Amino acid sequence: MTNQPVHSPQFFLTAPSPCPYLDGQFERKVFTHLVGEKAAELNDLLTQGGFRRSQNIAYRPACESCRACVSVRIVASEFEPNKSMRRNLARNSDITAREFQAEPSSEQYALFRDYLDARHQRGGMSDMTVLDYAMMVEDTYVPTKIIEYRIEGEPDPDGSIAEQGRLIAVALSDIMGDGLSMVYSFFDPDYASRSLGSYMILDHIQRAKDRGLPHVYLGYWVEGSRKMEYKTRFRPQDHLGPSGWDRYED
């Protein structure tokens, strides 16, 4: 019997559950734990292999009869915004973004709850408490940042004006050796007309460029899923297939 080295990850498989993206399909995931001093190195390798991080877990789809989920990364080093994206950047030029260590706040959680209640009432995260949110942010063994997006002089929901500006969006992102991985992001539903989801992606592309990192990892794309359509707008981008990462073309 061969003993496995302590630092070697062990992988586990979940039971089937209804797919959140495709009706009539069931999903399974393979996952492992990201803990200890090798967590950052392992997270880099697994993300490049199509895994995503949630707290101290790295997972990827392992569905028996479906391969619809495709890992997507933007080639930030070659990216140039199109006309629509330049309008988005201009429209949101009054936003100030600041990067912090991955620490939660009650202000973030209030915005998170507004976002879930407006956008994901029946999703798997809909019943997350403030403690659950804190775990989502803090439970990480890899280099992780939280980015707050604010508008100065804009009143908060209670009518007061915060000195640092109204918080309208938040992104939780991992800093990897070859890029940024957007773990989760959310925004104030009252500002939906600003396309803040796209704005945060554009901001991450610039942050990757500023760090000299070639990629921004967006997670999974499912062809035919309206929830995922926005991801293919940011090009050039690579999709992970059987032979590795390939440039995506329509």
Per-residue pLDDT of 42-86, as tens digits, reads 999 999 999 999 999 999 999 988 999 999 999 999 999 999 999
Q: ∠ at Cα 224 (86, 85), nearest 5°?
A: 0
In the chain, domain spans: 12-69, 82-208
DSSP one-letter string for 146-205: EEEEEETTPPPTTS---TT-EEEEEEEEEE-SSEEEEEEEEE-GGGGGG-HHHHHHHHHH
Q: Please provide the size of the chain in residues.
A: 250
Pick the closest to residue 220 from 70, 111, 31 (CA basis): 70
pLDDT at 2 over 70: no
pLDDT tens-digit series, residues 238-250 = 999 999 999 998 7
- Topology of the domain covering 82-208: Aminopeptidase (3.40.630)
Distance CA 129, CA 176 (A): 29
Q: Is the pTM of this model over 0.95?
A: no
